[in-house]
Amino acid sequence: MVRQFTESKLVLATHNPGKVGELEELLAPWGVEIVSAGALGLPEPEETGETFVDNALLKARAAASATGLPALADDSGLIVAGLGGRPGVHTADWAGSPRDFTRAMRRVQDELGGNPDRHAAFMSTIALVWPDGHEEVFEGKVDGELVWPPRGNIGWGYDPMFAPEGSPRTYGEMSAEEKHSTSHRARALAKLVKACFERR
């Protein structure tokens, strides 16, 4: 049975400031005190899972165990049809260390080469884990097309090369409010909110 979220504090199991900002904005209406794993100085667990679900649960479990608080983790990525679904769970890895998404976008473009299939999708899996081991998982997806050269500098990650279905603009050209209206992360979080935060 789906569990209602009644606690006052939630750990975001991420060290990614862009992701923290998005999730804080999306959760703001619920009045929950939010702290990130990065702000708490928690170590980043190695993402060894083979799926987005595996990695989201891995990160949320680690944060819940370390803090004794409920933890929310997002594992998301870019799925490119012309690359057989890559980079997929390795989306962040393509940006190298330190993370450089300009390089990552260039790699996507270079590996596509002359392939006319520009279809791609962003996938997000959100896991909410309580310290007692209860877990909830929700997924969101948005389809779109890859553009080159990248356009806009508002978003983060691969946003400047991804135009969601039906839009002439990339996520890199959209305000946070516009992006939240269609994004994979917003869709996954909307499912979580409906199931766990809205009072029934």
Within a domain: 82: yes
Within a domain: 4: no
Active-site residue, from 54, 75, 93, 117: 75
Structural tokens at position 113? 């080469």
Per-residue pLDDT of the chain (200 residues; tens, 9 = 90+): 889 999 989 999 998 888 888 888 888 888 889 999 999 999 989 888 999 999 999 999 999 999 999 999 999 999 999 999 999 999 999 999 888 999 999 999 999 999 999 999 999 999 999 999 999 999 999 999 999 999 998 878 999 999 999 999 999 999 988 988 889 988 999 999 999 988 76
Within a domain: 3: no
75 is catalytic: yes
Q: Which residues pair with 77 in a beta bridge?
A: 123
Query: 162, 184 in Cβ contact below 8 A?
Result: no
Q: Residue 91 is part of a domain; what is its CATH number? A: 3.90.950.10
Within a domain: 2: no
pLDDT value, residue 200: 62
For residue 61, the enclosing domain spans 9-197
Helices (H), 84-147: 101-112
Q: Can you give the pTM of this predicted structure?
A: 0.89
Structural tokens at position 138? 């929700």
Q: Is the Cα dihedral 194, 195, 196, 200 positive or negative?
A: positive
Within a domain: 1: no
The number of folded domains in the chain is: 1
Within a domain: 95: yes
